[in-house]
Structure 1
Amino acid sequence: LKLSFSSPRVMGMILSVAACLIVSTNLVVAVALLKLLLKRSSQSWCFVLNLALADALVGVAITGLNQISPPANTTPPDQGKARCLMRMAFVTLPCTASIMSMFLISLDRYAAIKMPLRYSLLAGKGTAIGSLLALWISAITVGFLPGEMMVWQLQADGYGGFCAFFSVIQEVGVIVLFSLCFFPLLSVFIYIYLDILKIACSHQKQICQVRQAGSRTLLRSGYSRHVKALRTVTVLVGCFLVLWCPFFVVSIVHILCKSCQLAGVLENYLWLLGLSNSLINPLVYAFWQREVRLQLAAMFSCLTGRSRAARPTGAADRYNPPSSCRIFKIGSLLSSIWDVYFCFRCSSSPCSLM
């Protein structure tokens, strides 16, 4: 994590814009999810709401990173190091919570489709509260692991006044953090991702057959609803792998290869790429999850309806649909493209995605 891009001012501008986009987008989606939860209590929506809140906290946390650190000659080294550790901890904590929330969502949808009977017995408020409590305890532990009151062995020996992730945490500590948190989750993510693709492919073949037969009975089942939710999780996990894997993999290469000089690439580009995952997550749900998309469309159409009521209605207003409807139809278009792709893919050959 680096606090300057080519200059502190440029990085400050980038982080400020990113923070505003991340916080605003996730809060809008969180409001829509809260409305859905009030309509119908669901363990899955609790996990998705937790993801939106964790991503919003990522945006809040990076607002403190655009502040220029005091010069090294005006701040005692120990005080500057402690301040930098706290700043890194408050960024690592919500990022860890966001990653673990995606893991919970994937596991929840995967369990619903793989063992529906046991899932219906285990799913509930108690399971959701216990899972979220364990998630935040783990995120706090990982985030503050190298802190002043935690493990001194993970902290770097010296501090030159420049606040960056690799300047305050030992390279061995980075490997320990990644080995405990990221790579185990990554392996499970990959397994779930591949199995989800296999399930989605096989079920899409059934949907195509039902549509060709002219019947829509199977499309109304609860099982079909779970599979459509798995489609969103597939996109979510795919975005996570694309955006976060480069940072974690190159970090290990940077630690093992002293002559590669990858610190600039890591701290200037790959961290920002991973950070953008907190902006992509709410957009995935806004465009791919039908319930969230409809709830957001209802919220925006309500706002546009109030603004239209405040002025005279013209002929153009009577015949032009609200802009929110046109925007959220993009999500339906993307969903249809996904269906067409899988129909073509699964009808051309047996499912061989595993």
Structure 2
Amino acid sequence: METHDEAKLCFPQINTSCIKHTRPQSESMLIYVLLSFVSLLTVILNLLVIISISHFRHRQMLHTPTNLLLLSLAVSDFLVGLFVMPFQILLIEPCWFLGDLVCVLFYFFAFVTTNASVVNMVLISVDRYVAICDPLRYSTKITQRGVQICVLLCWIYSVFYSFQILSDNLKQPGRYNSCYGQCVINVIVAVDLVLCFILPVSTIVVLYLRVFVVAVSQARAMRSHITAVKLQSSVTVTVKKSELKAARTLGVVVAVFIVSYCPYYLVSLSVSELLIGSSNIFIIFLLLSNSCLNPVIYAYFYTWFRKSVKLVVTLKILQPQSCEARLL
């Protein structure tokens, strides 16, 4: 018969086993339901973006360089919601029953997908910067082929970066566990802070400030400029409004990204090496929640996305020739 102390161990038959943390059942249920809902919502929202861009092709308007970047972002965020978040929910308790190798592979996949999401946001910021600040040469600077290469390089870089940042953990899985049944990895804070937060945020903020200055100057020019061709003036105003909306959207992206990532990196600033595990699960989940908000920010406010969602939800997407539906 097990003693009281043995019953608290993750693996009662092993003396070096981790100790279970007990909490009220109602509290545990609330946490699991909340985090599971965020995970499910992340999958659904990003899947809608993927379907909207991939399935519908009216006039090829949705298959633009910008939407290709949105598709890549949606894929990375979809993988975060489908695989990373559920495994992260398992880490609410310190008892990890899937082994050290699965633990480090999970974190490797988490780093790949979240880093790809961040890089995709930087690429989208660059795309919007060129579209607003140099619209006349946008079609020559930002091409479909060039964006495809950038997306491929984004994912290659994310995989390479994850290998480097987790090299010690991959060589010897479980080396940083303090007890048996724990899932903990070690990350060099300085490298992760610079490459995954400071550089991306700095790039996005600088580009946004430039976009904001140009957008304000264009708005002033619109008010002071008088043209004899009313039709041309109307088209110009429409284009400018579209670009100003893109500028505002980019501003929301910056704010949400910083709010989601700041708590994690503020904690990491206090140490030179950070042990990631069940002790900081909620901070990490806040960071991952950025993948749930991205599709809302980038796609929900577009008319074509709202129309495509209606077609998907009502199952009209299953009808013949549904991919030719007019969304714009």
Same fold (TM over 0.5): yes
Partner of 2:249: 232
Q: How far, CA to CA, are the matches of 1:32 and 1:208 in structure 2?
A: 36
SS state of the match for residue 80, structure 2?
helix
In 1: Cα distance, 2:177 partner to 2:284 partner: 23
Match for residue 86 of structure 1? 105
Match of 1:175 among 162, 181, 190: 190
1:50 alignment partner, SS class: helix
Amino acid aligned to 1:144? F
Aligned-pair CA distance for 1:81 = 3.3
- RMSD value over aligned CA atoms? 4.0
What is the CA distance between 1:141 and its match in structure 2? 1.8
CA contact (8 A) 2:104 2:169 kept: no
Percent identity reads 26
Would the alpha carbon gap of residues 151 and 181 (structure 1) be closer, same or farther in structure 2, given more than 3 Å must change? farther
Deviations 1:261-310 (A, max 9, x none): x9899814322222211111111234423433344355557759x9xxxx
Structure 1 residue 9, shift from structure 2 partner? 6.3
Match of 2:262 among 245, 258, 278: 245
- Indicate if the aligned counterparts of 1:25 and 1:282 stay in contact, CA closer than 8 A: yes
In the TM superposition, residue 108 of structure 1 has moved relative to its aligned partner by 0.7
Change (3 A) 1:120 1:46: same
- Compared CA separation, residues 110 and 21, structure 1 to 2 (3 A): same
Question: What residue in structure 2 maps to residue 219 of structure 1?
Answer: 237
Look up the equivalent residue of 1:143 and give its one-letter code: S
Q: Distance in 1 between matches of 2:278 and 2:100?
A: 23
Counterpart position of 1:63: 86
Could you say which structure has the greater relative contact order, defined with CA pairs below 8 angstroms and 6 or more residues apart?
A: 2
Aligned residues: 287
How far off is 1:12 after superposition?
4.2
Higher normalized helix content (fraction of residues): 1
The residue matched to 1:169 in structure 2 has which SS?
Answer: strand
- Is contact 2:215–2:244 with CA below 8 Å preserved after alignment? yes
TM-score calculated relative to the size of structure 1: 0.67
* Cα separation, partners in 2 of 1:197 and 1:149, compared to 1, 3 Å: same
Matches within 5 A, 1:164-203: 167-170=184-187, 173-203=188-218
Separation (CA, whole Å) in 1 of partners of 2:57 and 2:254: 23
Further displaced range: 111-120 or 265-274: 265-274
Task: Supply the distance in 2 between the matched residues of 1:101 and 1:24 (Cα, whole angstroms).
Answer: 19
The 1:111–1:155 alpha-carbon spacing in structure 2 relative to 1, beyond 3 Å, is farther
2:104–2:170 CA contact under 8 A, matched in 1 = no
Query: Structure 1: which 5+ runs fail to align?
Result: 307-354
Distance 1:120 1:148 in 2: 41
CA–CA distance in structure 2, aligned partners of residues 203 and 183 of structure 1:
30
Alignment of 1:315-330 (within 5 A): none
For the residue of structure 1 that corresponds to 2:234, the secondary structure is coil
Q: For 1:122 and 1:184, how far apart are their aligned partners in 2?
A: 23
Q: 1:301 to 1:196 in 2, by over 3 A?
A: farther
> Match for 1:278: what amino acid?
S
Query: Counterparts of 1:151 and 1:269 in 2: how far apart (Å)?
Result: 24
The verdict on how the C-alpha distance between 1:264 and 1:142 changes in structure 2, with shifts beyond 3 A counting, is closer
Residue 54 of structure 2 is matched in structure 1 by: 34
Aligned to 1:111: 130
| Correspondence for 1:325 | none
Quickly say closer, same or farther: Cα 1:237–1:93, change in 2 above 3 A: same
CA displacement at 1:240 relative to structure 2:
1.0
Aligned: 1:272 with 2:294: no
Q: Do 1:82 and 1:148's aligned partners in 2 also have CA atoms closer than 8 Å?
A: no
Amino acid corresponding to residue 296 of structure 1 in structure 2: V
Letter in 2 for 1:184: L
TM-score, length basis structure 2:
0.71
Matched residues in 2 for 1:71 and 1:266: separation? 12
1:216 counterpart SS class: helix
- Distance between the aligned counterparts of 2:247 and 2:303, measured in 1? 12
CA drift of 1:70 comes to: 9.0
- 8 Å CA contact 1:64, 1:87 repeated in 2: yes
Question: What per-residue deviation string (whole Å, max 9, x for no partner) do you get for residues 237-282 of structure 1?
Answer: 22112221232233213x1699xxx989981432222221111111
